[in-house]
Structure 1
Amino acid sequence: MSGQAAAAVSCDVLVVGLGCAGATAAIEAAEAGASVVALERASAPGGSSALSGGELYLGGGTATQQACGFADSAEAMYDFLVAALGPHADEEKLRRYCEGSVEHHDWLVGHGVVFKPSLHDRPTWMPDTDDGLMWLGENAAPFNSLAQPAPRGHRGPAPYYAGKVLMDALVEAAAAAGVETHTDTRAVSLVVEDGRVVGVRARRFGEDVEYRAARGVVLTTGGFVDNEPMLADHAPALLGHGKVSDGLDDGSGIAMALHVGAATRRMHAHEIALTYLPALAVRGLVVDGLGQRFVNEDSYPGIVSHAAVTHRPAPYWVIVDEIGFEDVPERERWGVRPAYAAEDLDELGAELGMPAGALAATVAAYNRDAERGEDTWFRKDPDWLRPLRPPYAAIDVAVGFHPGDRDSAASGNGVAGFTLGGLHTTPDGAVLTWAGEPIPGLYAAGRATSGIHGDGYISGTSLGDGTFFGRAAGRSAAGAVR
């Protein structure tokens, strides 16, 4: 900060960052009667949330699920998520999230979020339709034996990237609730008086501005995938890969909180995504650089991605035959074309640099199971099992894909990701010290925090976690009268 006196802005609750967590925190605080100012360092709100696929993981028997003919329960949702997001998922937060999911769905709908009552029933990262419900691996092994399957991916009415329509609705609801938004404003540090966080120092168009919050500050500034030194220290598995973000997930909110004694949790945790096409993979098989199959291809794509990048040698290939490739409608191929093709698997394996005979042996084992209608290795759904016949093709996942008019999320090697660890918070959003004590006046939510995740990830659990616990943080801050 410069030596000049800073301009001052006062409010009851100050929200730093206006993505999905910030928007819901601001709305709840305002509807609880607090005056709310939201700071956004970009020129418009939305953040990484607006650039996302737009899925919110909701269940327990939402109105959208019921309209599509699916029964569900909070217990089944919890059983699936504790397995899919583990090991070491935050079970206290997860239990609250699942038990409050129906109410959260209705709150979102009541604040302008639209979920069309139709199901997208085909494997994909993001539907090319405006369907409001999709499967996110609940019906694939081993999860279909651990909990009653039900589709829980709720999304706005837009093909591919639906994050913008979600954020448009939430930003509009925040404005209607009376939230005052200051864009192009970068928070620099927290203001602490008598052991309590009472505001932030910020920069806006070259001017120093001090924001004072009578009740509390809520940090919803996103993760730290764009901060290379922080990645090297905490989540090195993401180094060298593409980044799923708006370019501003630099850990600034986490750093500000650390300076006033905050604790972090599970900073190593991350999501990894391979730019492979699920619609093609389920019709064939995914193999590693040694020609070995290692997963059931009808799994949620994030599970396939983690299994590959964290446990198997690169490069990664989708192997299909001509019948399987042609079975996918062109619109759903996202511009993907085979990198290699051959009549003979030994020839194809040699072109891919695999050990002699490895790919042929893998496909032979797969074909034997497919002919019997049972995947004895990985329990792929029998509906997708079919022996592969020549000619064969190999699709290089490093090439990426181009859904809609957006470029591939990957950067050169077909791998992209983001961080899941962050500030240690209570389920109500209070930021904790290393001693486990709440820091008075300081709250946080979204990817700036360690939320419901352990070492696993399912699409929709970032926007779901962020919006749900953003609301909790906003309520807590509004009620914390100094």
Structure 2
Amino acid sequence: MTVRNPVAPRAAAEVKSYDIETDVLVVGYGCAGASAAFEAATAGAQVLVLDRAGGPGGASALSGGEIYLGGGTPIQRACGFDDSPEQLAAFLLAALGPGADEQKIAHYSEHSVAHFHWLVERGVPFKPSLWDSPAWVPPTDDGLMWLGENSWPFTEIATPAPRGHRPTANDFGGKLLMDCLVSAAESAGVAVQYDTYVTNLILDEDDSVVGVAARRYGRELTIRARRGCVLTTGGFVDNDDMLAAHAPRLLGHTKVSAGTDDGSGIRIAQAAGAAVRHMSAGQVGASLIPGFAARGMLVNNHGQRFVNEDTYPGRIGQAALFRQDMNVWVVVDEQGYEEVPERERWGVRPTHVAESIDELDELLDLPPRALAATIARYNEFASRGIDPDFHKAPRWLRPLTPPLAAIDIKAGIRPPSESGTRRGTGASVFTLGGLHTTLDGQVLNLDSTPIPALYAAGRASSGLHGEGYISGTSLADGTFFGRRAGAAAARNT
């Protein structure tokens, strides 16, 4: 007996009738789905959004809310910073590579200011003020933050300018962003059906996508999409089988998702012949407080530094996992610890405290005198305001003096809004790879030919990113290319 592949596409000839019909079908209701739905509806299409959850938002609503925008936005100018599309593109190519999509980055950089205005017109508020300290998510409602642009090696590649644009919310702003996008989409006439899980694409004789099969409360539905289907179903961090096949280094760590990033959209498109890109790439959030790291040093289990501690903390996370297997400690002295305000510490306390460097060496079970040698070299150059090894900015350079503390990043961190322990591997991860798409979100097959009427955006697609990541580039990529995918689907008549 032949067993049907659960993600294999259905033939349209086998579908006797459709339960629902629409012009444009959007699968997934995070930032990319809401943006795609809005643009398709305002282009005159009838739009239906399906989401497997009981409400909108997905991982976007749980995020910090940062949107990576630049090129000279009103918020940048109000805070006294000049920027240009060329400088934005130069930074993104360096920070998101190797493998970053040069064409998409150039197009996004050219239209980033216009995209800022589109977000504002959809009701997303931004306050013209700068948060000027290292942080994952600032505890204020400041509208702009640095995301590594002022750290080496990027200071030698592009003129530094802060580009992390934050909706006006204390702490995490993802929910506010999604409230605005969902309100805009539904005000434009978008219809939504929740608790609906899409299982298969439906293909016509010419392999064009004409609809989907889905399940809702145990009942199968068929939905016809007269113009196109846009997949915005997220990545695959929640699918351990896919991680094992494509990104095994991401297995076994805390997952950054809403629990629904199972790769379903990627798989049903692959079953219809879609190509994928950068499936091994992933973002790693190291469980450390950036303010402690910048004021101290990061060492591995050999007692050696391995990265400049003032860089974007996600870059630290990738270096910690991919090069150090998360065997990492933050070493800081009493002054450095006290300089970080309590509300920015997220309850993190030292896991080891010592009156001398040698004592800390022993507590961490490092090679004898290894940490002492590292600190001696660091202090020698820090006293001169330089860091020849990793080029930390002079602002953060100061000799470390006992007593010293070390923080095992496996102890975890917990945002103030969350409860419970976060001890684990020290890494929180999500995937970056996905479906190969054009600038308009058309999904390409293995011959780099568009699959008719199939589009994708957000983490279901391979967007701006190569192997690198910067906070805010997921929401930027998802909203910007989600818009393009929705508009392109609406035009496909």
Is the counterpart of residue 218 in structure 1 residue 230 in structure 2?
yes
Is the counterpart of residue 80 in structure 1 residue 80 in structure 2?
no
1:50-77 CA-to-partner distances (Å, cap 9, x unmatched) read: 1111111000001111121211000000
Q: Which of 155, 169, 189 is the aligned partner of 1:178? A: 189
RMSD value, Cα? 1.6
Please state how far the C-alpha of 1:4 moved relative to its aligned partner.
11
Is the counterpart of residue 246 in structure 1 residue 258 in structure 2?
yes
C-alpha distance in structure 1 between counterparts of 2:177 and 2:331, whole Å:
36
Q: Any conservation in 2 of the 1:6–1:209 contact (CA below 8 Å)?
A: no
C-alpha distance in structure 2 between counterparts of 1:48 and 1:329, whole Å:
29
C-alpha distance in structure 2 between counterparts of 1:197 and 1:313, whole Å:
43
Which residue identity is paired with 2:285? A
C-alpha distance in structure 2 between counterparts of 1:411 and 1:254, whole Å:
31
C-alpha distance in structure 2 between counterparts of 1:431 and 1:407, whole Å:
40
Pairs within 5 Å for 1:52-451: 52-194=63-205, 195-407=207-419, 412-451=424-463
1:314-340 CA-to-partner distances (Å, cap 9, x unmatched) read: 421110111111111111111000001
Q: Any conservation in 2 of the 1:289–1:313 contact (CA below 8 Å)?
A: no
C-alpha distance in structure 2 between counterparts of 1:73 and 1:409, whole Å:
43
Which residue identity is paired with 2:136? W
Which residue identity is paired with 2:248? P
> Tell me, which stretches of 5 or more residues in structure 2 are unaligned?
1-5, 7-13
In the superposition, relative to structure 1, how do residues 407 and 85 fare at CA in structure 2: closer, same or farther (>3 Å)?
farther
1:27-65 CA-to-partner distances (Å, cap 9, x unmatched) read: 000010101000010000100111111111000001111
In the superposition, relative to structure 1, how do residues 28 and 264 fare at CA in structure 2: closer, same or farther (>3 Å)?
same
Report the secondary structure of 2:19's partner residue: strand
Q: Which of 12, 20, 23 is the aligned partner of 1:9? A: 20
Q: Any conservation in 2 of the 1:16–1:39 contact (CA below 8 Å)?
A: yes
C-alpha distance in structure 2 between counterparts of 1:199 and 1:113, whole Å:
32
Q: Any conservation in 2 of the 1:290–1:313 contact (CA below 8 Å)?
A: no
In the superposition, relative to structure 1, how do residues 147 and 4 fare at CA in structure 2: closer, same or farther (>3 Å)?
closer
Q: Any conservation in 2 of the 1:64–1:132 contact (CA below 8 Å)?
A: yes
Which residue identity is paired with 2:158? A
Which residue identity is paired with 1:83? A
C-alpha distance in structure 1 between counterparts of 2:65 and 2:143, whole Å:
10
Q: Any conservation in 2 of the 1:340–1:395 contact (CA below 8 Å)?
A: yes
Please state how far the C-alpha of 1:190 moved relative to its aligned partner.
0.7
Moved over 3 A (4+): 3-7, 407-411
Give the total of aligned pairs: 481
Q: What TM-score does the superposition give when structure 2 sets the normalisation length?
A: 0.95
Q: Which moved more, 1:309-318 or 1:177-186?
A: 309-318
C-alpha distance in structure 1 between counterparts of 2:132 and 2:309, whole Å:
16
In the superposition, relative to structure 1, how do residues 231 and 311 fare at CA in structure 2: closer, same or farther (>3 Å)?
same
Q: Any conservation in 2 of the 1:224–1:251 contact (CA below 8 Å)?
A: yes
Q: Which moved more, 1:344-353 or 1:36-45?
A: 344-353
Identity of aligned residues (%): 59
* Residue of structure 1 in register with 2:482 after alignment: 470
In the superposition, relative to structure 1, how do residues 413 and 363 fare at CA in structure 2: closer, same or farther (>3 Å)?
same
C-alpha distance in structure 1 between counterparts of 2:289 and 2:72, whole Å:
30
In the superposition, relative to structure 1, how do residues 4 and 100 fare at CA in structure 2: closer, same or farther (>3 Å)?
closer
Pairs within 5 Å for 1:27-42: 27-42=38-53
C-alpha distance in structure 1 between counterparts of 2:483 and 2:421, whole Å:
29
Q: Any conservation in 2 of the 1:410–1:416 contact (CA below 8 Å)?
A: no
Is the counterpart of residue 21 in structure 1 residue 32 in structure 2?
yes
In the superposition, relative to structure 1, how do residues 313 and 437 fare at CA in structure 2: closer, same or farther (>3 Å)?
closer
Q: What TM-score does the superposition give when structure 1 sets the normalisation length?
A: 0.97
1:224-267 CA-to-partner distances (Å, cap 9, x unmatched) read: 00000100000111011110000100000001101111111111
> Tell me, which stretches of 5 or more residues in structure 1 are unaligned?
none
